[in-house]
Amino acid sequence: MVSKVTEILKNLSLTVEEKAEKIAEILSALPDKGAEETVRLILNADDYVVATYAANYLALLPNLQQEKIQAIEHILNNDKILAIAATNLVKAMPDDVVNQLINKYFQNPEDSDFSNIIYEVAQWFPDKLHPFAAQFKDSIIEKVILPGAADNYVEDLVKKYREEEDPQYLQTLVYIRTDKALDALITLSKTVPEEDLEDIYAYIESSGVFPETRKASLYWKNYRGYIVSRNESPHQMGGSFPHPVPKCPVTDIPANRILTLDLSQLDLGLKSGYNPSFFWYESGYSPGYIYVQFTEDGLKGLITPMTDGEVGTDLIPGELALKLEEYPLKYGRAGEAIPGFSYHQVGGYPNWIRFERFPSCPICDERMKFLVSIDSGMTPFGKLGFNGILYGFWCDPCAVSCTSHQSYMADFDSDEDEDDFE
């Protein structure tokens, strides 16, 4: 197995993404999707490239916490240069391992080899770094550890905004997401200049309520998702769909079923009786939003034409599913989302590339609640066929779903140098 992986990695004709996809293809065909062999690859790796590709694949698999702990502890305890390989495993670590990572970082905070590790800790365990906030000089880390920040920090930001009227302080408040921060945004919305009003309304929505009604704008139960085989989860992705789906009005390209949630397996408090489904297509004429309504007679397109039954299959690599696990990220993730790393989410706070107002339901004209985000990047079955992040919203009274899309103008290029990627 080592020789096969090494052969792929030495092939200069392959891009970074192609190498990752070929390695995933080999490993996923093994028993248990190659988890045991992947750990063996990491334990025997003598350079960070092999260790990184193997660890990134292991991070795509659900559960396996003991295997992930074994891998990350080996990486961090054997060779400093391997540290970057542990990055994508951090989010699955238990508290005691995270505490070890923090202690290791502060033994030598100038160690650049550990900067990616502490950034991941900041993303997934921001509360653990609050006691050390004053010690960070990196503006990115300072932003990422904002969720759940103390009330006195909120008061300081409000004071600075009133003195300087710099809208950047408003965006800093949105990342905190405590009741104190939300109240501050609502209060400031009554006094901000008109040109900042839509921005602060977007911040308030992303903090948990709609500014017009004060109703909840999201679902508080928070799930992290892993793409798995169809038989491993009831939340279906890709494959066939029992109704017509949206299509591109210019090219007639049919949308893919990105995700259907099985509400009987989730604690989200939805009452419509329909399982929300989200759709997308890539055609060169991609829409801003795709709306569909669920009815007793099937799926109805809203502001979009529908197919006669054909379903797209190019964006999801097979008949797959999304396996969900609850995780205690109470105040969500801060900072601008970086797409392409397979961070799939149901419930909780949206992690935007760029803040936007939530879409309005075409039926009742009320703002829709954020429900899901599906990131781009690798799966154990191949790469997802879109860039950026898909965001799904749901109006439960009208049984309407909405899918929107964000990406960077310069998403990660598959031809990037491996050093930049890893």
Span 44-74, pLDDT tens digits: 888 889 999 999 999 999 999 999 999 998 9
Band the pLDDT of 82: cuts 50, 70, 90: confident
Distance CA 44, CA 54 (A): 11
Residue 409: what pLDDT?
57
Whether 337 contacts 351, CB under 8 Å:
yes
Residue 81: what pLDDT?
66
Residue 4: what pLDDT?
85
Average pLDDT of the residues of the chain? 92
Cβ contacts of 46 within 8 Å, gap of 6 or more: none
Whether 144 contacts 122, CB under 8 Å:
yes
Residue 142: what pLDDT?
93
- The first and second tokens of residue 313, run together, are 């299959």
CA dihedral (268, 272, 274, 279) positive or negative: negative
Q: Look-up: residue for tokens 């054997």?
A: 78
Band the pLDDT of 410: cuts 50, 70, 90: very low
Q: Does residue 327 carry a pLDDT above 90?
A: no
- The first and second tokens of residue 216, run together, are 């909840």
Q: What is the CA radius of gyration of the chain?
A: 22
Band the pLDDT of 363: cuts 50, 70, 90: very high
Cβ neighbours of 364 (radius 10 Å): 12
Among 307, 297, 347, 312, CA closest to 327? 347
Segment 12-37 mean pLDDT: 93
Residue 208: what pLDDT?
96
- What H or E segment, with its residue span, contains residue 301? strand 298-302
Band the pLDDT of 14: cuts 50, 70, 90: very high
CA–chain centroid gap for 324, Å, is 13
pTM value? 0.93
Whether 125 contacts 145, CB under 8 Å:
no
Q: Does residue 415 carry a pLDDT above 50?
A: no
Residue 328: what pLDDT?
81
| pLDDT digits 0-9 by tens, 274-304 | 999 999 999 988 889 999 999 998 999 999 9
| pLDDT digits 0-9 by tens, 177-226 | 999 999 999 999 999 999 999 999 999 999 999 999 999 999 989 999 99
Phi, psi of 421 (to 5 degrees): -70, -40
Q: Does residue 175 carry a pLDDT above 80?
A: yes
